[in-house]
Amino acid sequence: MFINPEVPLDSLPSADDLDWQPLHPRFVRRLQVGALVRVLVVGIIGSAAYFLMTSGDSAAMARFADRLLPFALTAFGLFAASVLLWPMIAVPRRGYVVREKDILHKSGVLWRSVKAVPFNRVQHTKLDSGLLDRRFGLANLSVFPAGAGGHRIRGLGTDTAEQLRVYVSERIEAEALDPADED
Amino acid sequence: MKPSEPADWRRISPFAVVFFVGKTTRNLVRGYVQLVATFGALAVLIRGTPYAALLIPLALLVIVAIAGLRFWSFRFRIEEDRIVIRQGILKRTSVDLPFHRIQGINVERNPVDRLLGLVTVSLDTAGSETTEGELPCVSRELAEELRRRIGFGDQGRSDERPGVAEGTVPGVPDIDRDRARRKGDRAPGRVLLRLSAGDMFRIGLGRDNILFAMMLIAAAWRRPRELPYRLAETFGFSEDLVRPALETAEATLARTDALGEGTFTGGIVLSALAAVVAVGVGTAFLRYFRFTLWREGTAYRSRGGLLTQNEVVVETAKVQQLTLSQDMLLRMLHRFRLRMHPAADADASEHHDVPRVLEVPLLEAPLAQEMRASVFGEEGEGPILLPKSDDFRTVSPLYIQALALRLAVVPAMAGAILLLPVTGLTKVWATFAGTWAAIWIVCGGLTALQRWRRQGYVYGNDGMAGRSGFVGRRVDAFLYRKAQSVALKRSPIERRNGLATLEVELASDTVTVPYIDQGVARRLRDYILYTVEASRRRWH
């Protein structure tokens, strides 16, 4: 069923064996700092809850809190360790490739995903950089095709991100001018 | 019809003030929800002063004044190839909509509009800039003129799709068409479908929520035995206030002996069922009363509704995706529901209260096939619509395992772990956790099996379709060249077994085909990308 005489399928450019560009090396640290903030917030809320429960009048509540404590501490420890270590595992597995006609982004450790956005479907691009990102000299590039919410590549160096944005914008314009896109 | 050249600024009907009052109020209410704390504090402050009551008429006055100003500032101009809408009191906005960017036209007539012979027109645009054009309270003639000038169903565009331009006769002057419409309230073009009152019952009955309601009632079937006692007990607490109610309840109680109980139970179940059916059918009447679907040149057009009449026009070339679905009761009736999706705005859910998708609530297979053929044209052998088709390939049975894992094992384990601190590692815990896990594994496993049976996909040279569902069935069909982005996802199970999930993002929705052979998925991905990047045709 899947035949196309004009273009033999084997000659189609494959999106499998690509030279993936890694993200900026500082991105791991940036994610870890973000995770640390989250761990601290959860820790503060948790200990506040514990002290509220034990300092209250109800003895039953205090006993329940004490019984809960080992479980809560284990869960918190696991959460903290995984959140702090995760970026070191996840970031090396992310990457992007810019081709002539599209941009690809891979991500995920267990659930791996490779997403391709053709330039002739991109409506506009966006560069953003939060407080933490800026401290680490990083920026995120988003490309927006029609309809969907857009696709974001996080953790690029500021210069790389700007170069990429300019390149993508040029490609979009080139695709728009290309007579192949007219009917 | 007035000639609109030379183009000058036009105003909408003054009745639009009513429309703007509604809109302003809605905006204010939305603001209230966000600032509820502030306003709550204000209310407490004002409570002491009796003059606070004056605020209410004042607020109403302000709303009406704002609405009046909004009407006053609202102007639009129809030019050769575009429409410009200017509005705003403090912040002036001017929306410039080139006709070729317009994806669909929705025309809505609420009861007030219908009395006055006015309509509200919404113009849908693709892309993420929120340039939605809305023309409230304009004449029907203007809506028609706009529709024609934008070129929906126009002969000029039909060269895109040779062989599909039957329907309207090119030579018929526009004025005649308009007169014909005003006379018989019937639009030109070939009528494809007209739904009768009986169909409203079918639509109302054919929704899955009715089925679930029935199941719920069936589950409650054994309860009514206790119901009168419970009722009496509850009423007994509040004594004097509900004495009449208590008496009726007791009278009912007295009557519901061994013999009467069956009747009583049956009565409750039947009336609950009747209520559910009435709501379903009533909704169908409200939304689809006198639903008519017709073909105009290269466009499809639908109109229906009891109080608020809604009209949707979609140009076939701009359709991104066709969705054919069938709930269980519709399946018994051998009917389907079809939706044609044009490109959606990025934040469509926020800005559209008007349905922008052309939905045919009830149709038979041949019409669905005909519509598919005309939308996809000569590219249409790939995307098959009918869910029963033998061309659908099943996905890997490992999908059952993955789904069951997600649906059953995760909640079972979560329940067991959450129970642990409450009971400790005791026999009680083991019993509870065991029962809990068994229930989840059986339910989740069966659900996963059923969903796997529904899952399927089919592909051709130009397009593909994905099938999914649980109780009902649903097929999403699209052409490769309409894709916006393609993703290949692989879970641990998929990686171990050489499978992959293909996700194609369209301008309307995302179609997912899970657990297919990774070679097929990769080839499809590369082929879709190639088609998108090399296609010489517009996607919208």
Q: What is the pLDDT of residues B263-303, one digit of tens each?
A: 766 777 777 778 878 888 888 888 888 899 988 878 888 88
| Mean pLDDT of all residues in B35-41 | 64
Instruction: For residue A146, list chain B residues with Cβ-Cβ distance below 8 A.
Output: 126-128, 343, 346, 484, 507, 539-540
Among chain B residues, CA nearest to A66: B421
Nearest to B103 by CA among B358, B351, B477, B361: B358
The single-letter code of the amino acid at B383 is P
Q: What is the pLDDT of residue A181?
A: 42
More confident residue, B126 or B331: B331
A115 touches chain B (CB under 8 A): yes
Q: Which token pair is A132?
A: 């933490």
| Mean pLDDT of all residues in B378-402 | 84
| Mean pLDDT of all residues in B200-205 | 82
Among chain A residues, CA nearest to B157: A183
Q: What is the pLDDT of residue B185?
A: 41
- The neighbour count for residue A126, using CB atoms within 10 Å, is 13
Alpha-carbon distance B303 to A177, whole Å? 39
pLDDT tens, position by position, B334-358: 889 999 988 765 444 444 444 478 8
Alpha-carbon distance B101 to B121, whole Å? 16
Alpha-carbon distance B82 to B98, whole Å? 4
Is residue B165 over pLDDT 70?
Answer: no
Map out the domains of chain B as residue ranges. 204-286, 301-395+455-534, 398-454
Going by C-beta distance under 8 Å and a sequence separation of 6 or more, which residues neighbour residue A6?
none
Q: What is the DSSP string of B236-253?
A: HHTGGGGHHHHHHHHHHH
Residues B87/B133, Cβ–Cβ less than 8 Å: no
Is residue B159 over pLDDT 70?
Answer: no
Instruction: For residue A12, list chain B residues with Cβ-Cβ distance below 8 A.
Output: 523, 526-527, 530
pLDDT over 70, % of chain B: 72
Is residue B379 over pLDDT 60?
Answer: yes
Instruction: For residue A46, list chain B residues with Cβ-Cβ distance below 8 A.
Output: none
Taking 3-state DSSP, the helix, strand and coil percentages for chain B, each rounded to the nearest 5, stand at 50, 25, 25
What phi, psi does A154 have (nearest 5°)? -95, 155
DSSP helix/strand/coil, B369: helix
Q: What is the pLDDT of residue B177?
A: 42
Residues B507/B540, Cβ–Cβ less than 8 Å: yes
Alpha-carbon distance A108 to A59, whole Å? 47
Q: What is the pLDDT of residue B128?
A: 41
pLDDT class for B54, splitting at 50, 70, 90?
A: confident
- The neighbour count for residue A17, using CB atoms within 10 Å, is 5
State whether A112 and B346 contact (CB < 8 Å): no
Residues B400/B449, Cβ–Cβ less than 8 Å: yes
Nearest to B530 among A12, A121, A183 (CB): A12
Strand boundaries in B24-91, DSSP class E: 75-78, 82-87
State whether A146 and B507 contact (CB < 8 Å): yes
B484 touches chain A (CB under 8 A): yes
| Mean pLDDT of all residues in B81-86 | 82
| Mean pLDDT of all residues in B30-50 | 64
Alpha-carbon distance B379 to B371, whole Å? 13
Is residue A90 over pLDDT 90?
Answer: yes
Strand boundaries in B415-482, DSSP class E: 456-459, 463-468, 473-479
Alpha-carbon distance B269 to A131, whole Å? 60
Q: Which residue has the tokens 């229906």?
A: B304
Alpha-carbon distance B340 to B234, whole Å? 51
The nearest CA of chain B is from the CA of A61 a distance in Å of 12
The mean predicted confidence, pLDDT, of chain A is 85
pLDDT class for A11, splitting at 50, 70, 90?
A: low
pLDDT tens, position by position, B169-191: 333 344 444 444 443 344 467 88
Is residue B1 over pLDDT 60?
Answer: no
Q: What is the pLDDT of residue B50?
A: 63
The single-letter code of the amino acid at A61 is M
Going by C-beta distance under 8 Å and a sequence separation of 6 or more, which residues neighbour residue B520?
none
State whether A113 and B344 contact (CB < 8 Å): no
B406 touches chain A (CB under 8 A): no
Instruction: For residue B485, list chain A residues with Cβ-Cβ distance below 8 A.
Output: 115-118, 121, 145, 148, 151
Instruction: For residue B508, list chain A residues with Cβ-Cβ distance below 8 A.
Output: 147
Alpha-carbon distance A117 to B361, whole Å? 34
Among chain B residues, CA nearest to A120: B533
The nearest CA of chain A is from the CA of B421 a distance in Å of 6
DSSP 8-state class, residue B367 = H
Among chain A residues, CA nearest to B507: A147
More confident residue, B122 or B170: B122
Instruction: For residue A73, list chain B residues with Cβ-Cβ distance below 8 A.
Output: none
The answer to pTM > 0.80 is: no
Is residue A13 over pLDDT 80?
Answer: no
Alpha-carbon distance B482 to B507, whole Å? 8
Among chain B residues, CA nearest to A3: B461
Interface test with B, best of A67, A112, A126 (most B CBs within 10 A): A112
